[in-house]
Structure 1
Amino acid sequence: MDPKRNTLSTSGPLQHFAIVTLALTLSFLGHGVHPMPVPTEAPICTASETAHYSLTFTGKWTQAAFPKQYPVYRPPAQWSNLIGVTHSSDYHMWQRNEFASNGVREFTEKGEAWTLIKEIEAAGERIQSVYGIFSAPAVVGGTGQMHSEFEVFARHSYLSFIVRIVPSPDWFVGVDSLDLCDGDRWKESVSLELFPYDAGTDSGFTFSSPNFETIPQDKVTQITSSFPSHPANSFFYPRLKHLPPIAKMTLTKIKKTNQIISLPLEPTQSNQLPTGNEIEDTLINTPLDCEVSVWSPWGLCKGKCGDSGVQHRTRYILMQPANNGAACPPLEEEKKCFPDNCL
């Protein structure tokens, strides 16, 4: 039996990715349809041959780096599958400070990729701006890795991808239109630290917030240690100037093979759990200060008539400190008083 044919018989969403990839590539290359030239204002790639890259996505979402409301169950911190596309400069899967498409909305909120795939297909058919689609399997854990390979050529030298943060309202990480061509040659390697983005379609503040549609829809914005500034925000760390990176992407140019695209169809143990020295960065410990509620009203004044008494008020802990963050202040307070309505 042909091993390639056996691989493509795998059912599920990744089968669809493989079919779309082959269909797009055959449509553009095998049927004589020539891609439209990139806009004149964009840098023009003059590399003569195609290039193959290996992509490694590394999660850096640890409880030490992001201690506030870190999800440990139902579900624990993890990453969705990666959806990537190679394209020309006139296409964008998503853009900062622009509205997310319906496909991006469904993917970032629910992890459903069908509408996003259809949008990519439509762009490839309409303006011939998409060369290929690829994916990588989900990571069951905040610090695992996933891998994939893809191909680019001169008129489609850009890379974009998206990965959903799970759980979250509509948060994701990704890359928008990274040009892998430098004049007449391909970049040998690229390494980027990734930070969280808000798709602007759900108004939840915490990882486990219930669905709360944003009306009207907001634009895609980067989440920082101070934005959104609501103290309930899971990424709100007012003591930090910048958030630590939550993930990392590494690209390495590899030798050309006979495959158009290498598409990992089955998750493996190495995709799900880091082993050895896969996570090579120094462990980041983000200080988390204690957070307490507002004071309760003062209680009744307790004491004998004619003498001073004492009344109390209390507050409770909203967030325990972590990583040498500020300790909790006193939770109880008292003051002298004189009993009312004494006979």
Structure 2
Amino acid sequence: MLYTGRLILVCLVAVVATWCRSSGASPSCSPDKLARYRVSVRTFWTRDRFPKHFPEWRPQAQWSKVIGRSHSKGYIMFREGSPASEGVRMFAKTGRSDKLDDGGGDEIILDTFTAPSALTGAARTQAQFFVDGNHSRVSLISRMIPSPDWFVGIDSFDLCVNGNWLDSITIEADPMDAGCDNGFTFTAPNWPTDPQGIIYRIKSNYPSHPASSFYYPQINRLPTIATFQFIKVKEYDQSLGGRGQASDPIVKIEENIVKVLNGDTDNDREVQLEMEQQRREQEYNNYKSVNESQLSVSNGTSANLVSNTNKDALMDSIMKSYHVRKHKKAHRKSKYRDCRVSDWSEWSGCSVSCGIGEMQRRRQIIKHPRGAGKQCPPLQETKWCGSAKDCPQDRFKW
């Protein structure tokens, strides 16, 4: 975990204490869990704290807009000890942010956010953004105005600790030098560093040049010039077995109950009707057997003819009954079948035009299950979509 600043307040004290002591990798947050955070940026660039060369006009001490990204581990906005990218270099020197690319698209960047600029050295500004289990880190940057190429920022701070989202945390930020301008004072002219240097932290005794606007050798460290407070606003959970999958359990359960009940009722009714028919046939055959026996006693020849005829008729009846029972048995077996579903439909459009929404796809039941047949799989899948990067600044109410 990397960040540019000092940790001063954590609501989850016990969890973060363990996290800070541990050097190993901590469990990540579930990719099905989404969290919305508010970042509150407070600046303290005042004459009382930083009297040396304090700029009061042309222009007065102020801050650019705050530009942030929530992202995966693979994204780097800036990194202390490394050269600044072209986008960071341009932003630190001129305030232009169009060169700050997203560095890989939606697979790496989840959300792009900005907070309004501050027209005074001591001010407060804020923004909101989303993170999820695959994009749990946040980076942001704000330029000091006026300055050669100085800024404050956070580098890849992970808001997920031991599988849980931090409730609240505040980080102190030190001024940073982008390493692309040789100026020592707030209002120094542009003297490009050639070759370009690395990004480094400005301290009370470094750079150790008496002309430096932040050179205060009589103190151990500079006063706090800015803080970044992250507050969890809300958590969202798809409550799914896996990423991007959803089911409609209420509908599925209701359909299954109806089908099972209907199947049992129809089956019981068929069994009762067949038993009743067999009972009647048995009674009729018994009645015929008694009459035939009486007839054979009174007239042997006729009895033999009738008996042979009745035997043939009885065999025909047995065979017919056998075929009927076989047909009914096969019909009963057809009550036990697996569910069959169609192919997935195309993904729907995103549910929102601004912010984090959902996309869905569905499939239909071709044949419902019967009896002990295999039940239907989920009929709907859902996955996250969208981003707040294109949202207007006033999309949230503070």
Shorter-chain TM-score category? Answer: 0.5 to 0.7
Q: Which residue of the partner structure matches residue 146 of structure 1?
A: 125
**2:157 counterpart letter in structure 1:** L
Change (3 A) 1:155 1:44: farther
Alignment deviations for residues 177-234 of structure 1 (CA, whole Å, 9 cap, x no partner): 0000012210001101111000000010000001000001110000000000010000
Retained in 2: the 8 A contact 1:123–1:129? yes
- The SS at the match of 1:59 is strand
Q: How far, CA to CA, are the matches of 2:204 and 2:57 in structure 1?
A: 24
**What residue identity is the alignment partner of 2:149?**
D
**Deviation at residue 123 of structure 1 after TM alignment:** 2.1
After superposition, residues 112-261 of structure 1 pair within 5 angstroms as: 112-116=96-100, 119-120=101-102, 122-124=103-105, 128-256=107-235, 259-260=355-356, 261=388
Q: 1:265 — aligned with what?
A: 393
1:172–1:198 Cα contact (<8 Å) kept: yes
Contact 1:135-1:264 at 8 Å conserved across structures:
no
RMSD of equivalent CA atoms: 2.1
Q: Give the superposition deviation at 1:265.
A: 2.6
Identify, as 1 or 2, the structure richer in helix.
2
Bigger radius of gyration among the two: 2
SS in 2 for 1:109: helix
Q: TM-score, normalised by structure 1?
A: 0.62
Tell me how far apart the structure 1 counterparts of residues 81 and 143 of structure 2 sit (CA, whole Å): 18
- Structure 2 length-normalised TM: 0.54
Matched residue of 1:106: which SS?
helix
Q: Distance in 1 between matches of 2:207 and 2:235?
A: 45
- Contact 1:148/1:264 (<8 A) preserved: no
Q: Give per-residue Cα distances to partners, 1:280-303, cap 9 Å, x unaligned.
A: xxxxxxxxxxxxxxxxxxxxxxxx
Distance 1:161 1:175 in 2: 5
Q: 1:45: how far off?
A: 1.1
Residues 55-134 of structure 1: pairs in structure 2 closer than 5 A = 55-116=39-100, 119-120=101-102, 122-124=103-105, 128-134=107-113
> Any unmatched runs of 5+ in structure 1?
1-40, 272-343
1:50 match: secondary structure: strand
Task: Judge conservation of contact 1:77–1:142 (CA < 8 Å) in 2.
Answer: yes
Code of the aligned partner of 1:265: Q
AA of the residue aligned to 1:224? K
Contact between 2:65 and 2:118, CA under 8 Å: does it hold in 1? Answer: yes
What is the 5 A alignment of 1:4-23?
A: none
Counterpart AA for 2:109: V
CA distance in 1, matches of 2:57, 2:207: 25
State the Cα distance separating 1:61 from its structure 2 match: 0.7
8 Å contact kept, 1:136–1:264: no
Q: Give the Å deviation of 1:256.
A: 4.8
Distance 2:201 2:174 in 1: 7
Does 1:49 pair with 2:33? yes
**Counterpart of 1:255 in 2: which secondary structure?**
strand
Q: Deviations over 1:246-294 (max 9, x none)?
A: 011111101258843395636xxxx9xxxxxxxxxxxxxxxxxxxxxxx
* Contact 2:150 2:176 (C-alpha < 8 Å) held by counterparts: yes
Query: Which amino acid counterpart does residue 168 of structure 2 have in structure 1?
Result: S
Q: Which residue of 1 aligns with 2:300?
A: none
8 Å contact from structure 1 (residues 189, 250) kept in 2? yes
**Hey, what's the Cα distance between the residues in 2 that align with 1:239 and 1:156?**
42
Report deviation, 1:132: 1.5
1:331 matched residue in structure 2:
none
Q: Given residue 58 of structure 1, which amino acid in structure 2 is its aligned partner?
A: R
Work out the CA distance in 2 between the residues paired with 1:194 and 1:165: 13
Give yes or no for contact 2:69–2:111 (8 Å, CA) kept in 1: yes
Instruction: Indicate how the Cα distance of structure 1 residues 166 and 153 shifts in structure 2: closer, same or farther if over 3 A, else same.
Output: same
SS at match of 2:88: helix
Superposition deviation, residue 43 in structure 1:
4.2
List runs of 5+ in structure 2 lacking aligned partners: 1-23, 237-351, 357-387
**2:83–2:179 Cα contact (<8 Å) kept:** yes
Provide the secondary structure at the position in 2 that maps to 1:105.
helix
Contact persistence 1:109–1:170 (CA under 8 A): yes
Identity of aligned residues (%): 41
Once residues 163 and 120 of structure 2 are traced to their aligned partners in structure 1, the CA distance between those partners, rounded to angstroms, is 40
CA distance in 2, matches of 1:219, 1:166: 20
Letter in 2 for 1:45: S
For 2:157 and 2:129, how far apart are their aligned partners in 1?
A: 14
Matched AA of 2:216: Y
Q: Matched residue of 1:253: which SS?
A: strand
Count of residue pairs the alignment pairs up: 223
Amino acid at match of 2:50: F
